[in-house]
Chain A
Amino acid sequence: MGATVNDPPGGPLADHQPRGPLADHQPGGPIPERERGGVRVGALGPPDGTSLPGLSLPGRVREAGPTDAVDGAQPRAVVSPSSTTETAEVLRAAYEGGLRTVVRGGGSKLGLGNPPAGVDLVLSTERLGRVLEHAAGDLVVRVEAGVRLADLQAALAPAGQLLGLDPPEAGATVGGVVAANASGPRRLRYGTVRDLLIGITVVLADGTVAHSGGKVVKNVAGYDLGKLFAGSLGTLGVIVEAIFRLHPAPAATAVATAEVAAPGQAGSAVRALLASALVPSAIELDWPGPDGPGTLTVLFEGIGPGVDAQAANTARLLADAGTPGARVLHDGEPGQGGEAGLGGGADRGGEATRAAAALGALPWEAGQLGVKVATGPSGLPGALATVWEVAAAHGLAARATAHAGTGVLRAGLDGGDATTLAAFVNGARERLAPAQAGLVVAEAPLEVKQGVDAWGPVGDALPLMRKVKERFDPSGLLSPGRFVGGI
């Protein structure tokens, strides 16, 4: 029967007791198993497509289908609030109903992290799609979480500005990029979410709306909750608005690119680049496999004479560091490169812009195992060699790309069954641990994830992270189990 979530008193939800946010909380204790608190999850299903307990938002709720599953966990309903107020209403209702909620933006990072312990509700940010304020003179933009990053870049472009985030995932939303701490090649120049996010509005599990930071770049009033939420993968609250500092879009692009024969050679080249006074936007490595060479690409963005001189200097510097034969790519006629880089427009640029647009692609296909190893620049050659060795030992092919200037390696593994792939993760993690290089599973088939911890060890701060989680989401309803240490 279609018992809905709006059952009147005496109905299926009558015995539910709403709990206060901090009630029954035992500081330092384990994150409680989700207490159903008398809520019958069955009361939700099948949903009638229009309602949630205590919530009346016509047209915002629909029944979940198989494509709404999060790493194998099937939600019952998808709700898409269209404002901060509606998001707060939804979360309050979910909180009172004890519904486990996973936030979804573009869906491009739903495979990140461990499979959730369970999902009742997917909260989609698809209706939170407005660019609220672009203060061009202040180089600041305020946006709703559901705005797609590509759309935001397109909105900023006429003012000659950009948000310095260029993650590879197509369709990623601003909220998702923040929640997943997604980054791309230009992190060398602009940093990551933590460096660009200056204000945030979040809704906690119990519906409380809170802000931190603001519209000014320089601001030390109060705790920086933006940093806490960046990379928290929907486990602390729902990001509804974000304020970013912006950068002027570069007018010209130039690229120097060279073949490298071995990880150690690439390492020497990168070390020389970083020790020089050159200011590249990105230093990227692409290595299809251990049997062939890799490609090192150095990207410069700025003004014409500046980037051309830097690219030419790069070729000389690479030759001195043992990597001769670098090609320097320009965009040709002035003005052609004006649309370079972040957010598209690649087809309008020249050779350098096209090369820049190709940077940062993920070295795996959907459904393959993808891992990320963050080492810092000096540890990168060793980490790459380790990944290859362990992959070979398990009969796997490994394609790698790296943000070599910051020391972030990504590898896609292909060719084995789930057991083999899980063995690779655990084996590589063990081999990388002495170098303090953590390995994170960025994407994997569910069967692989069931055999590994996506995050690996996080050290002695885990108990503190659990305490943070317990304070923000004491009932453990938000993205349960997806984050580090089972948070």
Chain B
Amino acid sequence: MNNRSHFSLYRFSKSLSQIFVNVILLIISFLFLLPLVVVIAASLSDEKALAKNGYSLLPQGFSLSAYEYLLLDPDRLLRAYAVTIFVTVVGTLLGLLVMSMLAYALSRPEFKWRKPFSFILIFTMLFSAGLVPTYLVVTQVLHLKDNILALILPYLVVPWFVFILRSFFSSLPQEILDMARVDGASEWRIFFQIVLPLSTPVLATVGLFTILLYWNDWWLSLLYINDPNLFPLQYLLYAIMRNAEFLTSNASTGLLTSVELPTQTLRMAMVVVAMGPIAIVFLALQKYFIRGALIGSLKG
């Protein structure tokens, strides 16, 4: 009897805490989502109404003109999508491979160069030669100007991510690895057949971060790509936005009134267009960071 009442009390407090948790998260989600709703509403609004009344939760004077403008040149947009998708997929897969190999090596205590290499990585995070020297290396030493590799290679190793991976690998139970080694398995086999499968959450995490890194990048294309056929999505959108910003900051008055400036609604539409596919990817990868999916497999 004692046990039973203790148990039901426990269950009650559990559901109470569940309610508590859900309420807080609901409020937080609402606050976080508010701007998204406003952005979508603005992208569907009429420009004049928006300027007159400011932003709100509902579209004002419903209008698809911003999206029409974006789709005016569908070829360019589609090509940009293709470039971005290619770069992102290749970059992420390759990057994950390279980074996890590096991180694994760094996580093994018996690796002699562990400390120095870690230091090397950190050093690069802090010290950068800056724009001009890097540009010179990529274009003149590696001859990668207007080459799609220039969009992929620079981000293949992100020190921050490597350290996240390393930290995770370090926390894997050593016994499993030792047992495999005793059984005669090579380092590579251990890596591919034991370590990687055990690390799906962190691989999904770093994978997602890397996807985002490649997907959102416009900086590399600004530097190294002149051929419009190789422009990725974000660069196209960035270019449209930056045209307007530049014109706000320049000192020459009066000259530029003849140049057409993009509208507020257009900016909002661009956010939605750029975000769309990534949101889908995120939803797909989500199962790796949501409780309950993979705990079972870890035990095996």
A binds B: no
- Footprint of B on A, CB under 8 Å? none
